[in-house]
């Protein structure tokens, strides 16, 4: 069986292959609780949450940090060695967050 090495977008451009890396953590979130991931070794992360979240770099995250809809999963650039913190948007139901490094 041949290994897939690239795929093309709708305009024919080659897209890089994204492979899962190490888990940076998962946690149940509720209310104003904050979850801080482990620091990635790479420069991209994948977040999946069953709710809307705020995302910030570093050990703190507030309501003014970027809101993200990660319900379908989202890839984000990350700074190598910097932790990522997340919390639910105000009024969101309790949810679970997963953060993985990608390569």
Question: What pTM, to 2 d.p., does this model score?
Answer: 0.78
pLDDT of residue 44: 86
Q: What domains sit in the chain, N to C, each tagged with a CATH number?
A: 19-102 (2.60.120.10)
Query: Rounded to a whole number, what is the largest CA-CA distance in the chain?
Result: 49
Integer Cα distance of 103 and 72 in angstroms = 19
pLDDT of residue 102: 85
Residue 43 confidence class, pLDDT cut points 50, 70, 90: confident
**67-101 tens-digit pLDDT:** 999 998 888 888 999 999 999 999 999 999 999 99
């Amino acid at each position: 069986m041949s290994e897939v090495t690239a795929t093309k977008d709708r305009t024919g451009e080659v897209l890089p292959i994204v492979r899962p890396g190490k888990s940076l953590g998962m946690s149940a979130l509720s209310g104003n609780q904050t979850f801080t991931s482990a620091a990635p070794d790479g420069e991209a992360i994948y977040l999946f949450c069953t709710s809307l979240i705020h995302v910030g770099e570093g050990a703190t995250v507030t309501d003014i940090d970027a809101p993200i809809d990660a319900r379908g999963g989202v890839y984000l650039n990350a700074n190598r060695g910097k932790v990522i913190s997340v919390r639910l948007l105000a009024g969101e139901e309790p949810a679970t967050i997963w953060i993985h490094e990608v390569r």
